[in-house]
Amino acid sequence: MKAVKPFFFLIVFMIVLLGVQQSLFIVNQTQQALVIQLGHPLDKVYGPGLHVKLPFVQKVVYFEARILDYDARPAEALTSDLKSIVLDNYARWKIVDPLRFYRTMRTEHNAQARLDAVIYSQIRAHIGRHTLTQVVADERTSIMESVTEKASQQMKEFGIEIVDVRIKRTDLPAENQRAIFDRMRAERERQATQYRSEGAEESTKIRSGADKERAVILAEANKKAQVLRGQGDAEAARIYAEAFSRSPEFYSFQRGLEALRKSLGENTRMVLTPDSPLLQPIK
């Protein structure tokens, strides 16, 4: 009997401990919780702290109280100018009504699937009312704000608030990228051909202008040279005439010597008569 009593008290202690463990639960600062009784949630939402529930009959389901991230897979959309683009977007959302969330969504996985459908449909609807340029640059911020507002209104009935929706990247489909690349290459080749033609035309103009200017400069130079030569020859003739007019005999003598010098070279033999004009200077 003495050995049975400690064993009995140990069993009672373990049962009490298990009951206490099953009756108490803790909610962290980043969580909110619901108590589920026989498959149905109670109306109370439990915040951070220590709480009590019925053991073995009730269970606790925890939900995140922080903002959650949802990264959507890239999907295509059509703009108002019939341009197809691939959008890669993400969303930030939070559970604001855990009771309604549990009754409609149950899990975060189901909620993200619903978010995917709602956000994508809103993005397609808004992008379909804007051109590609507006989506990429001009109206991007206002489009995302409108998508956030509309999607949050739709998700409110599921106990979810969408804090923000943003487009991370906007791409073109592969076939559109190839077509645009080919068009850009053709445009660049056209511009290159135009620039080469304009350059050749400008080069011809410059060469023609340079050749014309060269011809004008040479003509002017030749004209000045001819004028200077004429002036020099005239001045030389004047000086010669003035010098020779002062002494005609000396001029005649010099001309005779010049004629002899040019006529008689080395080893030259000539037969002259006494009255030859070539002998007049010597006489």
d(CA 89, CA 168) in angstroms, rounded, equals 5
The reply to whether 197 falls in a domain is no
User: 69: which strand partners?
Assistant: 92
Which DSSP string corresponds to 131-188? -HHIIIIISHHHHHHHHHHHHHHHHGGGTEEEEEEEEEEEE--HHHHHHHHHHHHHHH
End position of a domain, from candidates 114, 145, 177: 177
Query: Do residues 40 and 129 both lie within one domain?
Result: no
- 42 and 77 part of one domain: no
Is the pLDDT reported for residue 13 higher than 70? Answer: no
Domain end point (choices 40, 65, 90): 65
Q: Are 146 and 119 in contact (CB under 8 A)?
A: no
Per DSSP, the residues of 25-44 read EEE-TTEEEEEEETTEEEEE
Question: Is the confidence at residue 133, as pLDDT, over 70?
Answer: yes
In a domain, 269, yes or no: no
Q: pLDDT digit string (tens) for 216-251?
A: 898 888 889 888 888 888 888 777 777 777 766 667
Residue 150 lies in a domain: yes
Q: Are residues 26 and 75 in the same domain?
A: no
122 is a domain residue: yes
In this predicted structure, the answer to whether residue 142 has a pLDDT above a threshold of 60 is yes
Share of the chain above pLDDT 90, in %: 20
CA gap 167, 172 in Å, rounded: 14
150 with 49, same domain: the answer is no
- Quote the number of domains for the chain: 2
Give dist(CA 171, CA 31) in Å, integer. Answer: 38
Task: Return the SS3 of 200.
Answer: helix
Q: What is the pLDDT of residues 52-69, one digit of tens each?
A: 888 888 889 999 999 999
Residues 56 and 143 in one domain: no
Give residue 5's pLDDT.
63
Average pLDDT over residues 198-214: 88
Using the predicted structure, report yes or no on whether residue 94 has a pLDDT greater than 90: yes
Strand partners, 46: 33
Q: Do residues 108 and 57 both lie within one domain?
A: no
* DSSP H helical ranges for the chain: 4-23, 98-104, 108-127, 132-133, 140-155, 174-246, 248-263
Task: Give the whole-angstrom CA distance, residue 63 versus residue 160.
Answer: 12
- Regarding whether 139 and 61 lie in a shared domain, the answer is no
Within this chain, do residues 49 and 117 fall inside the same structural domain, yes or no?
A: no
Mean pLDDT along residues 67-90: 84
Q: How many CA atoms lie within 13 A of 149 on its CB side?
A: 7
C-alpha torsion angle, residues 195, 198, 200, 206 (rounded to 10):
-130
Q: Judge if 78 and 145 occupy the same domain.
A: yes
Q: Is the domain of 141 the same as that of 93?
A: yes
The residue segments making up the domain with residue 140 are 68-177
Q: Does the pLDDT value for residue 153 go beyond 90?
A: yes
**What CATH number is associated with residue 145?**
3.30.479.30
42 and 116 together in one domain: no
Query: Of 94, 97, 78, which Cα lies nearest the Cα of 86?
Result: 78
Same domain, 73 and 130: yes
